Chains A and B, each alone.
Chain A
């Protein structure tokens, strides 16, 4: 039990560090890159929570697919929407 408990605490520490870094990014001079860093850090946090806290690491492949499917479709939705909006000005 002690080893598993240590892993949980380590994940929490990592989550807190990621929270600190995403706020640091916001006050950094990264300009237009900020939203990408913020989103990547959020995805990393979600990944840690899913993998350890939400037990995906213990699950068979089928359950992992079931858990991640909605997120995968959502990633397509967001990517295509942003590509659409971002490139509309190219056609005149």
Chain B
């Protein structure tokens, strides 16, 4: 693994640099955890304060699309995990293939989410779009607003992840990143993607499974 590693001057050995890279990424993802965590904690609080309205609102969310999407994201994480494993073994083609599969699954997720939003809009669940559903009059309205904020914020992160994977696939395919020495590039991209997956793992039960 040591070949091709470019060691920054503040590090004595590649292993030390590697551990620092991982720590930096974990800390960054910690800040993201606080961003999403605060929002999701708020949803739990709202569910406790308005149990009936939240459950009623949740029953209007498309649970089967979301379940399929969870499976899609978990599978994309597997593809990324394979890409990272291949990167560590210097298997360039498998890295690119794994990233492409993960990107296709990520785009499938966004496609399904868009289809779901369209149905939500047609039912008047979103603020200011179409004829408002009767549910937008009561406390269910804020549950829907939180749902739209959280899922959109997640979709933005997922789009960033898609961009990262596209970039990683390109630099690996063009041999700008040399494996296995610079596998850290794929490892860090993978960490971000898995984090986006974990966020969805919590978004799914907190909104969709709040049916009471």
Contact = CB atoms under 8 A, between A and B. Distances in A.
Interface string A52-92: 11110001101100110111011001100110011000000
Given A49-B198, A60-B19, A55 B209 contact: no
Contacts, number: 120
Given A16-B71, A85-B45, A53 B194 contact: yes
Nearest to A1: B89
Contact of A86 (B48, B201, B204): B48
Contacts of A55: 22, 187, 191
A1 B85 contact: yes
B77 A53 contact: yes
Contacts of A41: 205
A67 B30 contact: yes
A9 B81 CA distance: 10
Using C-beta atoms within 8 Å of the partner chain, give the interface range for chain A.
Answer: 35 or more
B116 to A, nearest CB: 16
B201 A78 contact: no
Interface of B: 19, 22-23, 26-27, 29-31, 33-34, 37-38, 41, 44-45, 47-49, 63, 67, 70-71, 74-75, 77-78, 80-82, 85, 89, 187, 190-191, 194-195, 197-198, 201-202, 204-205, 209-212
A82 B44 contact: yes
A17 B10 CA distance: 45
Interface of A is mostly: helix
A74 B19 contact: no
A50 B198 contact: yes
Given A19-B67, A49-B197, A74-B33, A5 B205 contact: no
Nearest to A14: B74
Contact of A71 (B19, B33, B205): B33
Interface string A1-28: 1001100110110011001001101100
A35 B47 contact: yes
A23 B209 CA distance: 7
A74 to B, nearest CB: 4
Contacts of A49: 77, 194, 197-198, 201
Given A12-B78, A49-B201, A77-B37, 6 more contacts: A41-B205, A42-B205, A45-B201, A63-B19, A71-B30, A86-B48
Contact of A35 (B81, B82, B204, B210): B210
A19 B70 contact: yes
B210 A70 contact: no
Nearest to A52: B81
A48 to B, nearest CB: 10
B190 A4 contact: no
21 contacts: A12-B75, A12-B77, A22-B209, A35-B205, A38-B205, A42-B202, A42-B204, A46-B201, A49-B194, A50-B198, A54-B194, A63-B26, A67-B26, A67-B30, A70-B30, A70-B34, A71-B33, A81-B44, A82-B44, A85-B49, A86-B48
